[in-house]
Protein backbone atom coordinates (compact mmCIF):
# COMPACT_ATOMS: atom_id res chain seq x y z
CA UNK A 1 0.00 0.00 0.00
CA UNK A 2 1.32 3.45 -0.81
CA UNK A 3 1.66 5.84 2.10
CA UNK A 4 -1.52 7.72 1.28
CA UNK A 5 -5.00 7.01 2.57
CA UNK A 6 -7.18 9.99 1.69
CA UNK A 7 -8.59 10.98 -1.68
CA UNK A 8 -10.68 14.03 -2.49
CA UNK A 9 -13.08 13.20 0.32
CA UNK A 10 -12.33 10.42 2.80
CA UNK A 11 -10.91 6.97 2.16
CA UNK A 12 -12.55 4.81 -0.50
CA UNK A 13 -12.07 1.49 -2.25
CA UNK A 14 -13.40 -1.97 -3.00
CA UNK A 15 -14.64 -3.97 -0.04
CA UNK A 16 -12.30 -6.85 0.90
CA UNK A 17 -9.74 -5.60 -1.60
CA UNK A 18 -8.49 -2.26 -0.34
CA UNK A 19 -11.06 -1.80 2.43
CA UNK A 20 -10.73 -5.00 4.48
CA UNK A 21 -11.91 -5.68 8.06
CA UNK A 22 -8.29 -5.61 9.25
CA UNK A 23 -7.62 -2.33 7.48
CA UNK A 24 -10.82 -0.82 8.90
CA UNK A 25 -10.00 -1.92 12.47
CA UNK A 26 -6.59 -0.27 12.11
CA UNK A 27 -8.32 2.90 10.91
CA UNK A 28 -10.44 2.73 14.07
CA UNK A 29 -7.36 2.50 16.28
CA UNK A 30 -5.79 5.37 14.35
CA UNK A 31 -8.93 7.45 14.74
CA UNK A 32 -8.91 6.77 18.49
CA UNK A 33 -5.40 8.20 18.70
CA UNK A 34 -6.31 11.11 16.45
CA UNK A 35 -9.49 12.16 18.32
CA UNK A 36 -8.02 11.23 21.70
CA UNK A 37 -8.84 8.64 24.35
CA UNK A 38 -12.13 9.48 26.06
CA UNK A 39 -13.57 11.24 23.00
CA UNK A 40 -17.10 10.52 21.85
CA UNK A 41 -17.63 9.77 18.16
CA UNK A 42 -20.86 9.16 16.24
CA UNK A 43 -20.50 6.26 13.81
CA UNK A 44 -23.00 5.56 11.02
CA UNK A 45 -23.26 3.98 7.57
CA UNK A 46 -25.20 4.00 4.34
CA UNK A 47 -27.39 1.09 3.26
CA UNK A 48 -24.77 -0.86 1.29
CA UNK A 49 -24.43 -4.23 3.06
CA UNK A 50 -20.64 -4.14 2.99
CA UNK A 51 -20.68 -0.77 4.77
CA UNK A 52 -21.72 -2.70 7.88
CA UNK A 53 -18.57 -4.84 7.64
CA UNK A 54 -16.46 -1.70 7.64
CA UNK A 55 -18.48 -0.01 10.37
CA UNK A 56 -18.21 -2.96 12.78
CA UNK A 57 -14.46 -3.20 12.25
CA UNK A 58 -14.02 0.54 12.74
CA UNK A 59 -16.03 0.44 15.94
CA UNK A 60 -13.89 -2.37 17.33
CA UNK A 61 -10.77 -0.28 16.72
CA UNK A 62 -12.31 2.83 18.26
CA UNK A 63 -13.44 0.99 21.39
CA UNK A 64 -10.08 -0.76 21.71
CA UNK A 65 -8.43 2.65 21.55
CA UNK A 66 -10.56 4.03 24.38
CA UNK A 67 -13.07 6.09 22.37
CA UNK A 68 -16.80 6.15 23.17
CA UNK A 69 -19.07 5.28 20.24
CA UNK A 70 -22.61 6.46 19.50
CA UNK A 71 -23.88 4.17 16.74
CA UNK A 72 -26.54 5.76 14.52
CA UNK A 73 -27.02 2.92 12.03
CA UNK A 74 -28.16 3.49 8.45
CA UNK A 75 -28.75 7.20 7.93
CA UNK A 76 -27.97 10.04 5.50
CA UNK A 77 -24.54 11.56 6.03
CA UNK A 78 -25.81 15.11 6.76
CA UNK A 79 -28.16 13.77 9.42
CA UNK A 80 -25.13 12.60 11.41
CA UNK A 81 -23.42 15.97 11.10
CA UNK A 82 -26.46 17.90 12.32
CA UNK A 83 -26.42 15.63 15.39
CA UNK A 84 -22.82 16.21 16.49
CA UNK A 85 -23.51 19.31 18.59
CA UNK A 86 -26.87 18.01 19.84
CA UNK A 87 -25.24 14.82 21.16
CA UNK A 88 -22.13 16.67 22.39
CA UNK A 89 -19.89 14.45 20.27
CA UNK A 90 -16.31 15.25 19.30
CA UNK A 91 -16.74 14.16 15.70
CA UNK A 92 -18.21 11.52 13.44
CA UNK A 93 -17.11 8.68 11.17
CA UNK A 94 -19.43 7.57 8.39
CA UNK A 95 -19.04 4.47 6.23
CA UNK A 96 -20.51 5.31 2.85
CA UNK A 97 -19.89 4.83 -0.83
CA UNK A 98 -21.76 8.09 -1.44
CA UNK A 99 -22.02 8.71 -5.20
CA UNK A 100 -19.67 5.89 -6.25
CA UNK A 101 -20.70 2.51 -7.76
CA UNK A 102 -22.44 -0.07 -5.50
CA UNK A 103 -19.33 -2.17 -4.84
CA UNK A 104 -17.35 0.77 -3.44
CA UNK A 105 -17.28 1.67 0.23
CA UNK A 106 -15.75 4.70 1.89
CA UNK A 107 -14.92 6.12 5.31
CA UNK A 108 -15.43 9.83 6.00
CA UNK A 109 -13.95 11.49 9.10
CA UNK A 110 -15.54 14.63 10.55
CA UNK A 111 -14.60 17.06 13.30
CA UNK A 112 -16.75 18.68 15.96
CA UNK A 113 -17.48 21.65 13.68
CA UNK A 114 -18.94 19.20 11.08
CA UNK A 115 -16.16 19.70 8.52
CA UNK A 116 -13.98 16.87 7.24
CA UNK A 117 -10.33 16.70 8.19
CA UNK A 118 -8.27 19.29 6.32
CA UNK A 119 -5.15 18.31 4.42
CA UNK A 120 -2.78 18.84 7.38
CA UNK A 121 -5.04 16.75 9.61
CA UNK A 122 -5.18 14.04 6.96
CA UNK A 123 -1.37 13.96 6.90
CA UNK A 124 -1.30 13.63 10.69
CA UNK A 125 -3.84 10.82 10.53
CA UNK A 126 -1.80 9.04 7.85
CA UNK A 127 1.36 9.40 9.90
CA UNK A 128 -0.33 7.79 12.93
CA UNK A 129 -1.66 4.98 10.72
CA UNK A 130 1.57 4.05 8.96
CA UNK A 131 3.85 4.50 11.98
CA UNK A 132 1.26 2.67 14.15
CA UNK A 133 1.41 5.40 16.79
CA UNK A 134 -1.82 4.29 18.42
CA UNK A 135 -2.59 2.51 21.66
CA UNK A 136 -4.71 -0.49 22.62
CA UNK A 137 -6.03 0.42 26.05
CA UNK A 138 -6.44 -1.96 29.05
CA UNK A 139 -9.77 -3.74 29.57
CA UNK A 140 -11.02 -1.19 32.09
CA UNK A 141 -10.37 1.76 29.73
CA UNK A 142 -12.12 0.57 26.57
CA UNK A 143 -14.75 2.91 25.19
CA UNK A 144 -18.48 2.78 25.88
CA UNK A 145 -20.95 1.81 23.14
CA UNK A 146 -24.48 3.14 22.73
CA UNK A 147 -27.15 3.13 20.00
CA UNK A 148 -28.68 6.51 19.15
CA UNK A 149 -31.64 7.63 17.04
CA UNK A 150 -30.96 10.86 15.12
CA UNK A 151 -33.70 11.29 12.49
CA UNK A 152 -35.79 13.63 14.66
CA UNK A 153 -32.73 15.76 15.38
CA UNK A 154 -32.05 15.97 11.65
CA UNK A 155 -35.57 17.00 10.75
CA UNK A 156 -35.81 19.63 13.47
CA UNK A 157 -32.42 21.17 12.64
CA UNK A 158 -33.04 21.44 8.90
CA UNK A 159 -36.54 22.88 9.26
CA UNK A 160 -35.20 25.52 11.66
CA UNK A 161 -32.97 26.92 8.91
CA UNK A 162 -35.68 27.99 6.45
CA UNK A 163 -38.72 30.27 6.36
CA UNK A 164 -41.52 27.76 5.87
CA UNK A 165 -43.98 30.39 4.65
CA UNK A 166 -42.03 30.60 1.37
CA UNK A 167 -42.29 26.85 0.83
CA UNK A 168 -45.90 26.13 1.70
CA UNK A 169 -47.91 25.02 -1.32
CA UNK A 170 -44.95 24.33 -3.63
CA UNK A 171 -44.82 21.00 -5.50
CA UNK A 172 -41.58 19.01 -5.60
CA UNK A 173 -40.55 15.75 -7.24
CA UNK A 174 -37.81 13.94 -5.30
CA UNK A 175 -35.54 11.17 -6.54
CA UNK A 176 -33.28 9.76 -3.80
CA UNK A 177 -32.08 7.14 -6.29
CA UNK A 178 -32.77 4.23 -3.89
CA UNK A 179 -30.13 5.69 -1.60
CA UNK A 180 -29.96 6.26 2.14
CA UNK A 181 -32.17 9.38 1.89
CA UNK A 182 -35.12 7.29 0.65
CA UNK A 183 -38.16 8.23 2.70
CA UNK A 184 -36.26 10.81 4.74
CA UNK A 185 -35.88 13.46 2.02
CA UNK A 186 -39.54 13.21 1.09
CA UNK A 187 -40.57 13.43 4.74
CA UNK A 188 -38.58 16.59 5.44
CA UNK A 189 -39.88 18.44 2.38
CA UNK A 190 -43.47 17.45 3.20
CA UNK A 191 -43.06 18.65 6.79
CA UNK A 192 -41.88 21.98 5.38
CA UNK A 193 -45.28 22.36 3.72
CA UNK A 194 -44.63 21.29 0.14
CA UNK A 195 -46.49 18.64 -1.82
CA UNK A 196 -44.11 15.83 -2.78
CA UNK A 197 -44.09 13.15 -5.44
CA UNK A 198 -41.28 10.61 -4.98
CA UNK A 199 -39.62 8.12 -7.31
CA UNK A 200 -36.87 5.59 -6.55
CA UNK A 201 -37.78 6.11 -2.90
CA UNK A 202 -37.01 2.66 -1.45
CA UNK A 203 -33.46 1.92 -0.19
CA UNK A 204 -31.74 -0.60 -2.45
CA UNK A 205 -27.94 -1.03 -2.37
CA UNK A 206 -27.97 -2.31 -5.97
CA UNK A 207 -29.17 1.13 -7.18
CA UNK A 208 -31.32 -0.60 -9.83
CA UNK A 209 -32.97 2.48 -11.36
CA UNK A 210 -30.03 4.80 -11.87
CA UNK A 211 -26.41 5.43 -10.98
CA UNK A 212 -26.00 6.73 -7.38
CA UNK A 213 -24.18 9.74 -8.85
CA UNK A 214 -27.02 12.14 -9.85
CA UNK A 215 -26.30 13.90 -13.12
CA UNK A 216 -28.42 15.31 -15.93
CA UNK A 217 -27.80 12.27 -18.14
CA UNK A 218 -29.47 9.83 -15.72
CA UNK A 219 -32.23 12.10 -14.45
CA UNK A 220 -34.37 12.41 -17.57
CA UNK A 221 -37.29 10.64 -15.89
CA UNK A 222 -37.16 13.18 -13.07
CA UNK A 223 -37.28 16.05 -15.55
CA UNK A 224 -40.19 14.55 -17.49
CA UNK A 225 -42.20 14.03 -14.31
CA UNK A 226 -41.56 17.58 -13.06
CA UNK A 227 -42.82 19.01 -16.32
CA UNK A 228 -45.66 16.50 -16.62
CA UNK A 229 -47.26 17.39 -13.28
CA UNK A 230 -46.36 21.11 -13.42
CA UNK A 231 -44.15 20.86 -10.34
CA UNK A 232 -42.11 23.82 -9.15
CA UNK A 233 -38.93 21.83 -8.71
CA UNK A 234 -37.33 18.42 -8.95
CA UNK A 235 -34.36 17.21 -6.91
CA UNK A 236 -32.17 14.12 -7.04
CA UNK A 237 -29.70 13.10 -4.36
CA UNK A 238 -26.80 10.69 -4.30
CA UNK A 239 -26.30 7.52 -2.26
CA UNK A 240 -25.92 9.24 1.11
CA UNK A 241 -27.73 12.55 0.68
CA UNK A 242 -25.06 15.25 0.44
CA UNK A 243 -25.55 16.08 -3.25
CA UNK A 244 -28.58 17.79 -4.81
CA UNK A 245 -29.09 18.12 -8.55
CA UNK A 246 -32.14 20.13 -9.56
CA UNK A 247 -34.69 19.96 -12.38
CA UNK A 248 -36.46 23.20 -13.17
CA UNK A 249 -40.19 23.61 -13.71
CA UNK A 250 -39.59 23.21 -17.47
CA UNK A 251 -38.18 19.72 -16.91
CA UNK A 252 -34.59 20.69 -17.70
CA UNK A 253 -32.00 19.14 -15.35
CA UNK A 254 -28.98 21.28 -14.49
CA UNK A 255 -25.54 20.72 -13.05
CA UNK A 256 -24.77 22.38 -9.73
CA UNK A 257 -23.21 25.43 -11.37
CA UNK A 258 -26.64 26.79 -12.29
CA UNK A 259 -28.27 26.12 -8.94
CA UNK A 260 -25.04 27.24 -7.28
CA UNK A 261 -25.30 30.58 -9.07
CA UNK A 262 -28.84 30.94 -7.72
CA UNK A 263 -27.64 30.13 -4.21
CA UNK A 264 -24.84 32.69 -4.63
CA UNK A 265 -27.42 35.34 -5.53
CA UNK A 266 -29.47 34.32 -2.51
CA UNK A 267 -26.43 34.39 -0.21
CA UNK A 268 -25.46 37.92 -1.26
CA UNK A 269 -28.98 39.38 -1.41
CA UNK A 270 -30.61 37.62 1.54
CA UNK A 271 -28.00 36.06 3.84
CA UNK A 272 -25.56 38.89 4.45
CA UNK A 273 -22.49 37.41 2.83
CA UNK A 274 -20.42 38.69 -0.08
CA UNK A 275 -17.75 36.01 -0.09
CA UNK A 276 -18.46 32.86 -2.08
CA UNK A 277 -16.16 29.83 -2.33
CA UNK A 278 -16.25 27.67 -5.47
CA UNK A 279 -14.20 24.66 -6.50
CA UNK A 280 -11.83 25.03 -9.41
CA UNK A 281 -14.12 23.04 -11.74
CA UNK A 282 -17.10 25.33 -11.22
CA UNK A 283 -18.50 27.39 -14.08
CA UNK A 284 -17.53 31.05 -14.35
CA UNK A 285 -21.25 31.83 -14.22
CA UNK A 286 -21.09 31.91 -10.41
CA UNK A 287 -18.31 34.49 -10.42
CA UNK A 288 -20.14 36.62 -13.00
CA UNK A 289 -23.40 36.85 -11.02
CA UNK A 290 -21.58 37.33 -7.71
CA UNK A 291 -19.52 40.18 -9.11
CA UNK A 292 -22.63 41.90 -10.50
CA UNK A 293 -24.09 41.97 -6.98
CA UNK A 294 -20.91 43.23 -5.34
CA UNK A 295 -19.71 39.86 -4.17
CA UNK A 296 -16.42 38.07 -4.69
CA UNK A 297 -15.57 34.49 -5.58
CA UNK A 298 -12.64 32.57 -4.12
CA UNK A 299 -11.42 29.35 -5.75
CA UNK A 300 -10.36 26.18 -3.96
CA UNK A 301 -9.47 22.58 -4.74
CA UNK A 302 -12.20 20.02 -5.38
CA UNK A 303 -14.01 18.33 -2.48
CA UNK A 304 -15.83 19.29 0.73
CA UNK A 305 -12.64 19.43 2.85
CA UNK A 306 -11.18 22.11 0.57
CA UNK A 307 -14.47 24.04 0.43
CA UNK A 308 -14.87 24.08 4.21
CA UNK A 309 -11.22 25.03 4.81
CA UNK A 310 -11.41 27.95 2.39
CA UNK A 311 -14.74 29.12 3.79
CA UNK A 312 -13.36 29.17 7.31
CA UNK A 313 -10.13 30.82 6.17
CA UNK A 314 -11.84 33.81 4.51
CA UNK A 315 -15.10 33.90 6.49
CA UNK A 316 -17.32 32.98 3.53
CA UNK A 317 -21.00 32.33 4.11
CA UNK A 318 -21.52 29.99 1.16
CA UNK A 319 -19.49 27.50 -0.85
CA UNK A 320 -20.26 25.07 -3.62
CA UNK A 321 -19.06 22.32 -5.91
CA UNK A 322 -20.61 21.86 -9.36
CA UNK A 323 -21.45 18.21 -8.60
CA UNK A 324 -24.34 19.41 -6.43
CA UNK A 325 -22.74 20.13 -3.06
CA UNK A 326 -23.76 23.38 -1.38
CA UNK A 327 -22.33 24.46 1.96
CA UNK A 328 -23.62 27.22 4.24
CA UNK A 329 -21.62 28.41 7.24
CA UNK A 330 -24.79 28.83 9.32
CA UNK A 331 -25.62 25.13 8.90
CA UNK A 332 -23.08 22.30 8.53
CA UNK A 333 -19.77 22.37 6.66
CA UNK A 334 -20.99 19.72 4.25
CA UNK A 335 -23.62 19.24 1.59
CA UNK A 336 -27.20 18.36 2.49
CA UNK A 337 -29.78 17.60 -0.21
CA UNK A 338 -32.69 18.33 2.15
CA UNK A 339 -31.44 21.75 3.22
CA UNK A 340 -30.48 22.63 -0.36
CA UNK A 341 -33.96 21.75 -1.62
CA UNK A 342 -35.72 23.81 1.05
CA UNK A 343 -33.43 26.79 0.51
CA UNK A 344 -33.97 26.60 -3.24
CA UNK A 345 -37.74 26.67 -2.67
CA UNK A 346 -37.25 29.57 -0.26
CA UNK A 347 -35.19 31.45 -2.87
CA UNK A 348 -37.82 30.91 -5.57
CA UNK A 349 -40.42 32.25 -3.14
CA UNK A 350 -38.31 35.32 -2.35
CA UNK A 351 -37.77 36.07 -6.03
CA UNK A 352 -41.39 35.29 -6.90
CA UNK A 353 -40.12 33.65 -10.08
CA UNK A 354 -39.93 30.14 -11.44
CA UNK A 355 -36.69 28.20 -11.70
CA UNK A 356 -36.73 28.43 -15.50
CA UNK A 357 -37.31 32.21 -15.41
CA UNK A 358 -34.22 32.72 -13.26
CA UNK A 359 -32.14 30.42 -15.48
CA UNK A 360 -33.01 32.54 -18.52
CA UNK A 361 -31.69 35.62 -16.71
CA UNK A 362 -28.29 34.03 -16.00
CA UNK A 363 -25.29 34.58 -18.31
CA UNK A 364 -25.03 31.94 -21.02
CA UNK A 365 -22.04 29.62 -20.67
CA UNK A 366 -21.38 26.17 -22.10
CA UNK A 367 -19.73 23.75 -19.69
CA UNK A 368 -18.60 20.38 -21.01
CA UNK A 369 -17.15 17.49 -19.04
CA UNK A 370 -15.96 13.96 -19.54
CA UNK A 371 -14.06 11.26 -17.67
CA UNK A 372 -11.39 8.91 -18.97
CA UNK A 373 -10.47 5.61 -17.32
CA UNK A 374 -7.07 5.99 -15.68
CA UNK A 375 -5.42 3.52 -13.27
CA UNK A 376 -4.78 5.09 -9.87
CA UNK A 377 -1.09 4.21 -9.96
CA UNK A 378 -0.36 6.37 -13.03
CA UNK A 379 -2.48 9.43 -12.18
CA UNK A 380 0.52 11.40 -10.90
CA UNK A 381 2.50 10.56 -14.03
CA UNK A 382 -0.38 11.62 -16.26
CA UNK A 383 -0.57 14.94 -14.43
CA UNK A 384 3.18 15.50 -14.86
CA UNK A 385 2.95 14.80 -18.59
CA UNK A 386 0.04 17.23 -18.95
CA UNK A 387 2.05 19.91 -17.16
CA UNK A 388 4.91 19.40 -19.60
CA UNK A 389 2.47 19.86 -22.46
CA UNK A 390 1.05 23.16 -21.19
CA UNK A 391 4.01 25.20 -22.42
CA UNK A 392 3.54 23.85 -25.93
CA UNK A 393 -0.20 24.40 -26.22
CA UNK A 394 -1.03 26.21 -29.44
CA UNK A 395 -4.81 26.35 -29.06
CA UNK A 396 -5.20 30.01 -28.10
CA UNK A 397 -3.42 32.59 -25.93
CA UNK A 398 -3.21 31.56 -22.27
CA UNK A 399 -4.25 34.12 -19.68
CA UNK A 400 -3.54 32.15 -16.50
CA UNK A 401 -2.74 28.64 -15.27
CA UNK A 402 -4.17 27.71 -11.86
CA UNK A 403 -2.52 24.67 -10.31
CA UNK A 404 -4.43 22.50 -7.88
CA UNK A 405 -3.53 19.17 -6.31
CA UNK A 406 -2.28 17.12 -9.30
CA UNK A 407 -4.45 19.16 -11.65
CA UNK A 408 -4.44 22.26 -13.83
CA UNK A 409 -6.97 24.84 -14.95
CA UNK A 410 -5.82 26.66 -18.06
CA UNK A 411 -7.64 29.95 -18.57
CA UNK A 412 -7.50 31.62 -21.98
CA UNK A 413 -7.70 35.27 -22.99
CA UNK A 414 -11.27 34.90 -24.29
CA UNK A 415 -12.53 33.71 -20.83
CA UNK A 416 -12.76 30.09 -21.94
CA UNK A 417 -10.91 27.41 -19.95
CA UNK A 418 -9.96 23.75 -19.74
CA UNK A 419 -9.41 21.77 -16.54
CA UNK A 420 -7.45 18.54 -16.16
CA UNK A 421 -7.95 16.78 -12.83
CA UNK A 422 -7.46 13.22 -11.54
CA UNK A 423 -10.46 11.86 -9.66
CA UNK A 424 -9.88 11.53 -5.95
CA UNK A 425 -12.47 8.78 -5.54
CA UNK A 426 -12.31 6.68 -8.73
CA UNK A 427 -9.69 5.38 -11.23
CA UNK A 428 -10.50 8.14 -13.69
CA UNK A 429 -9.13 11.40 -15.05
CA UNK A 430 -11.61 14.26 -15.41
CA UNK A 431 -11.66 16.96 -18.08
CA UNK A 432 -13.89 20.04 -17.95
CA UNK A 433 -14.11 22.85 -20.49
CA UNK A 434 -16.14 26.04 -20.68
CA UNK A 435 -16.73 28.84 -23.14
CA UNK A 436 -19.38 31.36 -24.09
CA UNK A 437 -19.46 29.51 -27.44
CA UNK A 438 -20.69 25.91 -27.47
CA UNK A 439 -18.56 24.85 -30.43
CA UNK A 440 -15.45 26.25 -28.79
CA UNK A 441 -16.19 24.34 -25.56
CA UNK A 442 -16.68 21.12 -27.53
CA UNK A 443 -13.40 21.61 -29.42
CA UNK A 444 -11.55 22.20 -26.17
CA UNK A 445 -13.05 19.01 -24.74
CA UNK A 446 -11.99 16.98 -27.79
CA UNK A 447 -8.49 18.37 -27.48
CA UNK A 448 -8.37 17.44 -23.79
CA UNK A 449 -9.67 13.93 -24.42
CA UNK A 450 -7.09 13.33 -27.14
CA UNK A 451 -4.22 14.63 -24.99
CA UNK A 452 -5.08 12.60 -21.88
CA UNK A 453 -5.90 9.42 -23.83
CA UNK A 454 -2.58 9.60 -25.65
CA UNK A 455 -0.64 10.15 -22.43
CA UNK A 456 -2.35 7.26 -20.65
CA UNK A 457 -1.78 4.94 -23.63
CA UNK A 458 1.92 5.85 -23.77
CA UNK A 459 2.37 5.29 -20.01
CA UNK A 460 0.61 1.92 -20.06
CA UNK A 461 2.47 0.60 -23.10
Distance CA 449, CA 288 (A): 27
Q: How many CB atoms lie within 10 A of CB 195?
A: 15
What separation in angstroms does the CA of 358 have from each of 26, 265, 354, 395?
50, 11, 7, 34
Listed in sequence order, the DSSP H helices in 271-336 are 285-292, 304-314
Q: SS3 for 456?
A: helix
Q: Which of 24, 39, 98, 423 is catalytic?
A: 98
- Picking from 3, 38, 6, the residue whose alpha carbon sits closest to that of residue 304 is 6
Instruction: Please indicate whether residue 309 is annotated as part of the active site.
Output: no
Select from 258, 402, 329 the least CA-distant residue to 410: 402
Q: Is residue 331 helix, strand or coil?
A: coil
Nearest to 213 by CA among 181, 179, 188, 189: 179
Contact indicator for 179, 155 with CB cutoff of 8 Å: no
Q: What Rg, from alpha-carbon coordinates, does the chain have? A: 22
Dihedral pair phi/psi, residue 342, rounded to 5° = -65, -40
SS3 category, 443: helix
The HSE-up count of residue 148 (CA atoms within 13 Å, CB side) is: 28
What is the C-alpha to C-alpha distance for residues 4 and 122, in angstroms, rounded to an integer? Answer: 9
Q: Give the whole-angstrom CA distance, residue 81 versus residue 65.
A: 23
Residues annotated as catalytic are 98
Amino acid sequence: MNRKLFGTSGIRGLINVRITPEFSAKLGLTAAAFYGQGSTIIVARDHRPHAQVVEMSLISGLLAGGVNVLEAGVTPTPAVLWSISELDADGAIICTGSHTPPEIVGILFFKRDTSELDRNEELLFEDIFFSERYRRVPWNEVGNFEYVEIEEIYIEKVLSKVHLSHIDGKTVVVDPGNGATSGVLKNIIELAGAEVVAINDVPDPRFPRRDPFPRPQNLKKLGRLVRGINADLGVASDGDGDRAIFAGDDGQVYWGDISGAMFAIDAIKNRGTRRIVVTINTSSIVEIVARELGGAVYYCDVGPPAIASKMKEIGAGFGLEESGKYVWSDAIFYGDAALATLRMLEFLGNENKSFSEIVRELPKRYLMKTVIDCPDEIKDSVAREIEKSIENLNIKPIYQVIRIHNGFKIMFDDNSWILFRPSGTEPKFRIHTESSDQKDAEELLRFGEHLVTRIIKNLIT
